[in-house]
Amino acid sequence: MDGTLIDAVSNQRRVWAAWAERYGLDADEVYEVALRTRPTETFAQVAADRDPRECLAALHELEDEDVRSGAYAAFDGASELLHALAPGSWGLVTSNYAHRVRGRFARTGLPVPDVIVDAATVEEGKPSPVPYLRAAERLGAGPGDCLVVEDAPSGVRAGLRAGMTVWGVNAPVPVAGVHRHFPQLHEATPHILAFTAAPN
């Protein structure tokens, strides 16, 4: 979602900066770790002496407030793409939580997918293949018939390990392993629609 469909970089930076300030940590250092790991793993690296449940509660509080008050924008091509996809043919795999997905989609006018595999759905997050395999199962699709659209290395690895076709978007250079690369989502949109329309 973030980085692929919705431009939330400034929101993420702001939330993690507020969280880091609360714990007396360097905001830039915390954010660099948070970009590569799930929150619990971030806490283990940057605040190992703190109660991870307290850390997570504080982060959730800040993220929920950001969903209510932050400014969000969908990437060019996101609305066109999601409105053109057949209902029930696509899902969202995210390390975020479903209620925030719905909140951000509501703020940007994007249609909410029927299938959301979020952080509460699976114990193993990206780069584990489990989230994408769970999404495929819910969609009634085989991994070989699925297209993963990602912007981050952990998501790309997850899709590849799940045995799916993986395309990269919204990155200036290709993420290692992607089958196709598009610098911007809107450039990928017609190709994604063609992929989904092709007989499997």
Burial class (CB in 10 A: 0-12, 13-18, 19+), 49: exposed
Q: Same structural domain for residues 63 and 86?
A: no
Q: Same structural domain for residues 110 and 36?
A: no
Structure confidence at residue 110 (pLDDT)? 95
Q: Cα dihedral sign for 134, 137, 138, 143?
A: positive
| Number of residues that make up the chain | 200
Q: Same structural domain for residues 17 and 38?
A: yes
Q: Same structural domain for residues 62 and 95?
A: no
Considering only CA atoms, which of 173, 175, 176, 178 is closest in space to residue 191?
178
Query: Does the predicted model carry a pTM greater than 0.85?
Result: yes
**Phi and psi of 73, rounded to 5°?**
-140, 135
Range of the domain at 58: 6-69
Considering only CA atoms, which of 39, 45, 107 is closest in space to residue 79?
107
CA–CA dist 143, 162 (Å, integer): 7
CA distances from 159 to 134, 166, 185 (A): 12, 6, 18
Is residue 53, in this structure, part of any structural domain at all? Answer: yes
Is residue 47, in this structure, part of any structural domain at all? Answer: yes
135 membership: H or E segment, kind and range: helix 130-139
Count of structural domains, the chain = 2
**Beta-bridge partners for 2:** 6
Residue 11: pLDDT above 70? yes
Q: What is the pLDDT of residues 17-31, one digit of tens each?
A: 999 999 999 999 999
Structure confidence at residue 167 (pLDDT)? 98
User: Which is it for strands 6-7 and 73-74: parallel, antiparallel or unpaired?
Assistant: antiparallel
**Residue where one domain finishes, among candidates 69, 91, 117:** 69
HSE-up (13 A, CA, CB side) for residue 33:
17
Report the mean per-residue pLDDT for the chain: 94
Q: Same structural domain for residues 115 and 176?
A: yes
User: Which is it for strands 180-182 and 165-169: parallel, antiparallel or unpaired?
Assistant: parallel
Structure confidence at residue 200 (pLDDT)? 62
Is residue 52, in this structure, part of any structural domain at all? Answer: yes
Average pLDDT of the segment spanning 94-107: 90
- Residue 145 is part of a domain; what is its CATH number? 3.40.50.1000
